[in-house]
Amino acid sequence: MRDRVAVIGVGHSGFAPITAGLSYKELSFEAALRAYSDAGVNPRKDVDSFVCVSEDLLEGTSIFDEYVPDQIGAALRPVQTISADGLFAVATAVMLIRSGIAGVVAIEGHSKASDIQSPGAIHQFALDPVYNRPLGISALAVAGLEMNHYLSATGATAEECAEVAAANRRAALLNPIAAYPSEIAAADVAASEPLWFPLRSLDVAAPADGCVVLVLANEERARDLSDEPVWIAGVGWSSGSPTIESREWGRAEEVQAAAGRAYRMAGIARPDSVVDLAEVDDTYTYRELMHLEALGLAPEGGAGEMLAGGAFGPDGDVPVNQSGGSLGQGYLFEANGLARTMECVLQLRGTAGARQVEDAGVALAQSWRGVPTTSAAVAVFASDEAVRA
Amino acid sequence: MSPKRPARAPASNGSRPRAGAAPRRRPSVPTPPFTARGRSLSDAEFRTAVGAVDAGVDARYAWDTGIAVGGYLRGLRDGKILARECRRCRRILVPPRMFCEQCFRPTDGWTEVRDTGRVNTFSICYVRWDMERLEVPEIPAVIEIDGASAGVGIMHKLGEVRPEDVRIGMAVEAVWKPPAEREGSILDIRYFRPRDAAERAGRTAAGRAARAGARKASGARKASGAAKTRRGKAR
Amino acid sequence: MGQKVAVIGAGMTKFTRRAQETGKELSWEAAKAALDSCELTLDDVQAVCMGTAPDAFDGVHMKGEYLSDGAGGFGKPYMRSYVGGGTGVFGAIQGWYTVASGMFDVALVVCEEKMSSTQPHPQGAFLTIFDNILERPLGPNLLWIFALEMNRYMTVHGIDKRDIAAVSVKNKHNAVDHPSALLGMGGITVDDVLASEVLAWPVQRLDVSPVTDGAVAVVLAAEHVAKRLTDKPVWIEGVGWHLDSSYWTNRDLYYPDYVEYAARMAYDMAGIKEPRKEIHIAEPYDPFDYKELHHLEGLLLFDKGKAPEAMRDGVLYRDGDLPSCPSGGLLGVGNPIAAAGLMKIAELFWQLRGDAGARQVPGSPKRGVAQAWGDLMQVGTVVVMGR
């Protein structure tokens, strides 16, 4: 198993609606210090390669990769930026390690959402400049279209979607670093401000500031450095159709494709019988349901009902988003996938505190970048015990 | 737009390999010199083409300066250049940062450096970013700050000097805005000028304009006496 | 190390000042040309790697997502990597580890740039590359940082501007033989360069590569696949990349350490001990003429400050001892940022196969190095290729 890759360190800066007085560099430095200390590595000597995730317009800086190295100990070292969710960086680290060019890789992703003064305009700038932008619609309209199609095609209801928000915000109460823990009911979601029908404001994850840094290693280095490596059993990513006019609505086909690859790599045939917990993209409530279906954890159109029945709760068959997800922890842009990975690692180490899932051996993380994008990534993690068993 | 005709007949798809399977052997074909098609639009065509889209983005940000840069800006408002020190590698760093990127540890404390330095490199820029000619050229420079570690500098502009007189290694000093006009910005320093009065001839338009600005600035400085105090305190 | 990786196909669009095609269409044209060149179809491709520089050029937020279907990414593992101006050569590195990992056997790398969309001038996209709080208030433009570096390089070594201008002349001459070139100029002389408009001294108009639209693609394959598909695979023997500190005013710009570190990483992997003997052809990054010389030194092909002498002695011409930018480079073929870097990889592929036609370097070169640079005088990306 020379190709095995493990997560050996996680670090964060905490997640908050606003981090006044701190720059993104200072957030990253804090998360990096924690991750390297957790992994027991010195980044100036022990880390062979660094992968950062960012998008220029979320930072207000063109060619933002200029500004990433210093605060993570990566100055004059191999550093690259991946313009995608953090799980794509996890996949990149896996490839770097399997290619033999790196033994230890650090990954950084952050959000300084509170710096952005015109988030709607920037989000709209992601729409096709020729076909869609002249319509003057918000990017969120695409989520409304998608949600409406999903509800009418599957028979899922807006109330079931609202339960997602309630469940994840509630779960966040047990996560000390979450930005938006609260006790809300589905009725509160139904009463929240309508955005693009049927999407309402509490269906949408609110942005937060924060940084997550991970340290990954090949088997030899992982055994050397860590008592409790968490293995990456499988990873997959895929792109759907970015063209709104020709995409599959109502089904997250890119998630299905990404999951298929990750499951094949991990040798998983029946995910619902293997996966002990999942951290799933919940940028919008209905999307968590679509994703659970695409991941094979619920039948098509059946996720809402299962969720309402408690199947994805803390005591359910597959606890989902016990971290609070993006709805509860806050939406961290490209760091979302890293926060999900961190939760999987803590759960598989058995150090998730009050939200610990019993006997967790296999965990799954899934990401998607929000409308209008169609790129998704999935990673399957396994504890050392699960791998040895 | 019509698809470009492939340089060679496309391969038969008859026995296309399944995803994951290795494609079968095919004969080697010569690659280019490849004649690319494609067409360039003229500026007029570009602006008047059917469906031409003219769009901007309202991207606005309010960046947190953070601890290090925030402290630096407060220092500038007070007429001081502040640095952070790393006691492990013994470097004095400006612009300041809360971490030492070489040692990867927190920096240890603030220290004031001088508002003088030497020109590490410079340019004389005659155009604006959109390539319009400037009436008065600008002189951007990297200035190594006295009191900071060797080679540690900041980017700023030079003034009160004829472009042809500027040279690498020239000793320069900050020309500050009067205290009342400072707002905690890199622009609280108007520019750096030669320390040697003989080099501050400034017979060009740039020099005259810079001199006019400097007269105002130095008048205010005398009034406040801040500059003298600052020099006296410098390390 | 993982599995061996070869380049087996390459294709590119014409480099133009203002392409009629959208970014998606440019990506598609290059991808199609590359696949056609090795008689593959998109169905044979298992993963797609995208390289493209700032979103501000195309005017689309998350532009990697937008370009994905044009580049052939639909329904496939598709990922965009990004290291500023170093992105084009890094695209080949991304493709290399994608295949070398053993997770994929055939990868398509596409690099696209459509700079002309930015109005009123593509330089507008570069205004926000400087530090948001400490540098942007000074009103810097992109030329500043090049001029500052060029001045430092020239002053430290006492370099004659004529030797630098000769690089621009060489590349614009070389580009005459490139069918995709935007700026092949057969009649240009050193005096023309020295007489061109001074933009930001010491940078003059003809020292600078032109604003360009274009796309380039290459097909990479694992050894067992490459050997079945072609008799002339060109192997990726070494890859390296390094990113220096963003505090660029704390570094001495006269020498690109980041290029040297990246080069050493690539040479080590390729088992190269004496690059000056073992490298037969170079495609260093030349967005400005002095940059080519600066980078040849960083690549350890000349001593510090000695590359201008090599230019003067004719070493860098196509028939010289170390042909440099035989393609015509960015100064001649054009500079659609990320695409320009991958164009260098494509050029090595054609040169090492002996397929470069009128541009062919004599003496059947066996090994070449391509390099790109980016960010705030900060990134070096290096690929060594051989046959």
Third-level CATH fold of B114-233: OB fold (Dihydrolipoamide Acetyltransferase, E2P) (2.40.50)
pLDDT at residue A293, rounded to an integer: 98
- Return the C-alpha torsion angle A238, C105, C337, C213, nearest 10: -80
C364 lies in which domain range?
5-117+210-386
Handedness of CA C63, C66, C69, C73 (dihedral sign): positive
Q: Which of residues 132-171 of B touch C (CB under 8 A)?
A: 138, 140-142, 151-157, 163, 168
- Chain C nearest C-alpha distance from B231 (Å): 23
Given a cut of 60, is residue A138 above it in pLDDT? yes
Residue C219 within any structural domain of the chain: yes
Spatial contact of C11 and C37, defined as CB atoms under 8 Å apart: yes
Which residue from B55, B64, B67 is facing A129, i.e. has the nearest CB? B55
Q: Is the peptide bond before B6 cis (omega within 30 degrees of 0)?
A: no
Q: Is the peptide bond before C120 cis (omega within 30 degrees of 0)?
A: yes
Torsion angles phi and psi, residue A312, rounded to 5: -110, 10
In terms of Cα–Cα distance, which of C123, C147, C200 is closest to B126?
C200
CB-based contacts of B59, cutoff 8 Å, min separation 6? A57, A60, A118, A121, A122, A125
> Worst-scoring range by mean pLDDT, A29-38, A209-218, C148-157, C178-187?
C178-187
Residue C61 within any structural domain of the chain: yes
- Chain A nearest C-alpha distance from C127 (Å): 8
Spatial contact of C304 and C157, defined as CB atoms under 8 Å apart: yes
Residue A230 within any structural domain of the chain: no
pLDDT tens for C201-256 read 999 999 999 999 999 999 999 999 999 999 999 999 999 999 999 999 999 999 99
Could you report how far apart the first and last alpha carbons of chain B are, in Å? 67
User: Residue C312 corresponds to which tokens in the numbers above?
Assistant: 């003067």
Spatial contact of A24 and A210, defined as CB atoms under 8 Å apart: no
Which residue(s) pair with B31 in the sheet?
none
Number of helices and strands in chain C (H, E): 14, 11
Which one-letter DSSP state was computed for residue B26?
Answer: -
Given a cut of 80, is residue B206 above it in pLDDT? no
Given a cut of 70, is residue A321 above it in pLDDT? yes
Cα B10 from Cα C218, distance rounded (Å): 17
Distances (CA, A) of A50 to A109, A126, A379: 11, 27, 19
Q: Give mean pLDDT, residues C281-289.
A: 98
Q: Which residue of B has its CA nearest to C216?
A: B36
pLDDT at residue B11, rounded to an integer: 33
Q: How many of the other CB atoms lie within 10 Å of CB of C313?
A: 12
Given a cut of 70, is residue B214 above it in pLDDT? no
Verify whether the Cβ–Cβ distance A237 to C100 is below 8 Å.
no
Could you give the number of structural domains in chain C? 1
Cα C379 from Cα C257, distance rounded (Å): 9
Inter-chain CB pairs, B–C, below 8 Å: 237
In terms of Cα–Cα distance, which of A7, A90, A84, A79 is closest to A43?
A79
Q: Give A113's contacts in chain B (Cβ within 8 Å).
A: none
pLDDT tens for B113-141 read 999 999 999 999 999 888 889 999 999 99
Residue C376: which pLDDT band, with cuts at 50, 70 and 90?
A: very high
Q: What would the DSSP string read from start to end of A53-119?
A: E--HHHHT-TTGGGGSSGGGT-TTB-EEEESS-HHHHHHHHHHHHHHTS-SEEEEEEEEEGGGBS-H
User: Residue A304 corresponds to which tokens in the numbers above?
Assistant: 């809402």
Residue C164 within any structural domain of the chain: no
Q: Are residues A40 and A78 in the same domain?
A: yes
Measured CB to CB, residues of chain B less than 8 Å from chain A are 51, 53, 55, 57-70, 97-99, 101-104, 106
Q: Give mean pLDDT, residues A239-265.
A: 94
For chain C, the chains sharing at least 3 beta-carbon pairs closer than 8 angstroms are A, B
Q: Are residues A348 and A377 in the same domain?
A: yes
Q: Are residues A219 and A291 in the same domain?
A: no
CB-based contacts of B198, cutoff 8 Å, min separation 6? none
Verify whether the Cβ–Cβ distance A55 to C61 is below 8 Å.
yes
pLDDT at residue C300, rounded to an integer: 98
Q: Which residue of C has its CA nearest to A128?
A: C66
Q: Give B103's contacts in chain A (Cβ within 8 Å).
A: 44
Which residue from C17, C132, C249 is facing B154, i.e. has the nearest CB? C249
Given a cut of 50, is residue C338 above it in pLDDT? yes
Residue A381 within any structural domain of the chain: yes
Q: Give B154's contacts in chain C (Cβ within 8 Å).
A: 134, 249
For the domain that residue A339 is a member of, what is the CATH number?
3.40.47.10
Which one-letter DSSP state was computed for residue C74?
Answer: B
Distances (CA, A) of A335 to A233, A306, A368: 21, 28, 11
Query: Three-state SS for B7?
Result: coil
Which residue from C97, C131, C269 is facing A95, i.e. has the nearest CB? C97
pLDDT at residue A279, rounded to an integer: 98
Q: Give mean pLDDT, residues B30-38.
A: 52
pLDDT tens for C139-160 read 999 999 999 999 999 999 999 9
Q: Give A115's contacts in chain B (Cβ within 8 Å).
A: 61-64
Verify whether the Cβ–Cβ distance C81 to A369 is below 8 Å.
no
Cα C122 from Cα C142, distance rounded (Å): 10
In terms of Cα–Cα distance, which of A343, A371, A333, A88 is closest to A206?
A333
> Worst-scoring range by mean pLDDT, B46-55, B97-106, C22-31, C173-182?
B46-55
Which residue from A71, A115, A117 is facing B99, i.e. has the nearest CB? A71
Q: Does C97 touch chain A (CB under 8 A)?
A: yes
Helices (H), A296-364: 303-308, 325-329, 336-349
Q: What would the DSSP string read from start to end of C259-307?
A: HHHHHHHHHHHHT-S-HHHH--EEE---SBHHHHHHHHHHTTSS-TT-H
Interface probe for A, chosen from C52, C101, C109 (most Cβ of A below 10 Å), is: C101
Q: Looking at this protein, which amino acid is placed at residue A152?
A: S
* Radius of gyration, alpha carbons of chain B: 28
Q: Are residues A182 and A214 in the same domain?
A: no
pLDDT at residue B32, rounded to an integer: 58
B105 sits in which H/E element: strand B105-106
- Chain B nearest C-alpha distance from A23 (Å): 4
What's the predicted TM-score (pTM) here? 0.93
Q: Give B40's contacts in chain C (Cβ within 8 Å).
A: 14, 16-20, 213
pLDDT at residue B129, rounded to an integer: 84
Q: Looking at this protein, which amino acid is placed at residue A273?
A: S
- Chain C nearest C-alpha distance from B207 (Å): 17
Given a cut of 60, is residue C112 above it in pLDDT? yes
In terms of Cα–Cα distance, which of B152, B149, B171, B151 is closest to B161?
B171
User: Residue A244 corresponds to which tokens in the numbers above?
Assistant: 């709104």
Which residue from C124, C249, C350 is facing B32, i.e. has the nearest CB? C350
Q: Are residues A30 and A172 in the same domain?
A: no
A200 lies in which domain range?
119-204+235-388
Residue with tokens 């990134």: C379
Q: Which of the listed residues A192, A225, A258 is the one where a domain comes to its end?
A: A225
Q: Which residue of B has its CA nearest to A21?
A: B66
CB-based contacts of C70, cutoff 8 Å, min separation 6? C22, C23, C24, C25, C26, C27, C28, C31, C112
Q: How many of the other CB atoms lie within 10 Å of CB of C36?
A: 24
Which residue from C134, C143, C245 is facing B69, i.e. has the nearest CB? C134
Q: Give mean pLDDT, residues A357-385.
A: 96
Q: Looking at this protein, which amino acid is placed at residue C311?
A: M
Interface probe for A, chosen from B50, B74, B99, B103 (most Cβ of A below 10 Å), is: B99
Verify whether the Cβ–Cβ distance A373 to C90 is below 8 Å.
no
Given a cut of 60, is residue A248 above it in pLDDT? yes
Q: Are residues A196 and A280 in the same domain?
A: yes
Residue C140 within any structural domain of the chain: no
Q: What is the mean pLDDT of chain C?
A: 96
Q: Are residues A258 and A374 in the same domain?
A: yes
pLDDT at residue B47, rounded to an integer: 77
Q: Give mean pLDDT, residues B138-152.
A: 98
For the domain that residue C261 is a member of, what is the CATH number?
3.40.47.10
Q: Give A266's contacts in chain C (Cβ within 8 Å).
A: none
- Chain A nearest C-alpha distance from C311 (Å): 29
Distances (CA, A) of C212 to B54, B59, C61, C129, C375: 19, 25, 20, 19, 18
Longest dimension (CA), chain A: 57
Cα C283 from Cα C347, distance rounded (Å): 8
Verify whether the Cβ–Cβ distance C32 to B6 is below 8 Å.
yes
Q: Give mean pLDDT, residues C317-326.
A: 97
Residue with tokens 């810097």: C140
pLDDT tens for A157-169 read 999 999 999 999 9
Which residue(s) pair with A108 in the sheet?
A52, A213
Q: How many of the other CB atoms lie within 10 Å of CB of C158?
A: 8
- Chain A nearest C-alpha distance from C65 (Å): 6
Q: Give A134's contacts in chain B (Cβ within 8 Å).
A: 53, 55
C-alpha A145 chain-centroid distance: 23
Q: Strands B133-138, B105-106: parallel, antiparallel or unpaired by DSSP? A: unpaired
Q: Strands A362-368, A277-279: parallel, antiparallel or unpaired by DSSP? A: parallel
> Worst-scoring range by mean pLDDT, B35-44, C301-310, C370-379?
B35-44
Verify whether the Cβ–Cβ distance B38 to C14 is below 8 Å.
yes
Verify whether the Cβ–Cβ distance C249 to B142 is below 8 Å.
yes
Q: Are residues A146 and A283 in the same domain?
A: yes
Q: Looking at this protein, which amino acid is placed at residue A380?
A: V
Cα A340 from Cα A325, distance rounded (Å): 8
Q: Are residues A126 and A164 in the same domain?
A: yes
- Chain A nearest C-alpha distance from C316 (Å): 29
Cα A6 from Cα A381, distance rounded (Å): 9
User: Residue A272 corresponds to which tokens in the numbers above?
Assistant: 């619902």
CB burial of residue C261 (10 Å; 0-12, 13-18, 19+): buried
For chain B, the chains sharing at least 3 beta-carbon pairs closer than 8 angstroms are A, C
Residue C244 within any structural domain of the chain: yes
Q: Does C350 touch chain A (CB under 8 A)?
A: no
Q: Give B38's contacts in chain C (Cβ within 8 Å).
A: 13-14, 16, 19-21, 26, 29
Q: Are residues A166 and A239 in the same domain?
A: yes
Q: Strands C367-374, A362-368: parallel, antiparallel or unpaired by DSSP? A: unpaired
Q: Are residues A82 and A146 in the same domain?
A: no
Residue with tokens 């200072």: A26
Given a cut of 50, is residue B10 above it in pLDDT? no
In terms of Cα–Cα distance, which of C246, C257, C254 is closest to C290?
C254
Q: Does A118 touch chain C (CB under 8 A)?
A: no
Residue A46: which pLDDT band, with cuts at 50, 70 and 90?
A: very high
Residue C287: which pLDDT band, with cuts at 50, 70 and 90?
A: very high
Q: Are residues A72 and A138 in the same domain?
A: no
Residue B191: which pLDDT band, with cuts at 50, 70 and 90?
A: very high
Given a cut of 60, is residue A118 above it in pLDDT? yes
Spatial contact of C382 and C240, defined as CB atoms under 8 Å apart: yes
Q: Where are the beta strands (DSSP E) in chain C?
A: 5-12, 47-51, 78-82, 106-114, 198-201, 203-204, 213-222, 234-243, 281-283, 367-374, 379-386
Q: Does C79 touch chain A (CB under 8 A)?
A: yes
Could you report how far apart the first and last alpha carbons of chain C are, in Å? 19
Given a cut of 50, is residue B8 above it in pLDDT? no
Residue C144 within any structural domain of the chain: no
Q: Give B121's contacts in chain C (Cβ within 8 Å).
A: 148-149, 151-152, 155, 253
Given a cut of 60, is residue A300 above it in pLDDT? yes
Q: Give mean pLDDT, residues B172-195.
A: 98
Could you give the number of structural domains in chain A? 2
Q: Does B72 touch chain C (CB under 8 A)?
A: yes
B215: left (phi over 0), alpha (psi -120 to 50) or beta: alpha
CB-based contacts of A114, cutoff 8 Å, min separation 6? A17, A18, A19, A20, A207, A209, B64
pLDDT at residue C327, rounded to an integer: 97
Query: Three-state SS for A179?
Result: coil
pLDDT at residue C198, rounded to an integer: 96
Which residue from C39, C133, C232 is facing B8, i.e. has the nearest CB? C39
pLDDT at residue B231, rounded to an integer: 29
> Worst-scoring range by mean pLDDT, A59-73, B4-18, B80-94, C167-181?
B4-18
- Chain A nearest C-alpha distance from B200 (Å): 36
Q: How many of the other CB atoms lie within 10 Å of CB of B196?
A: 13
Verify whether the Cβ–Cβ distance B32 to C124 is below 8 Å.
no
Cα A377 from Cα A259, distance rounded (Å): 7
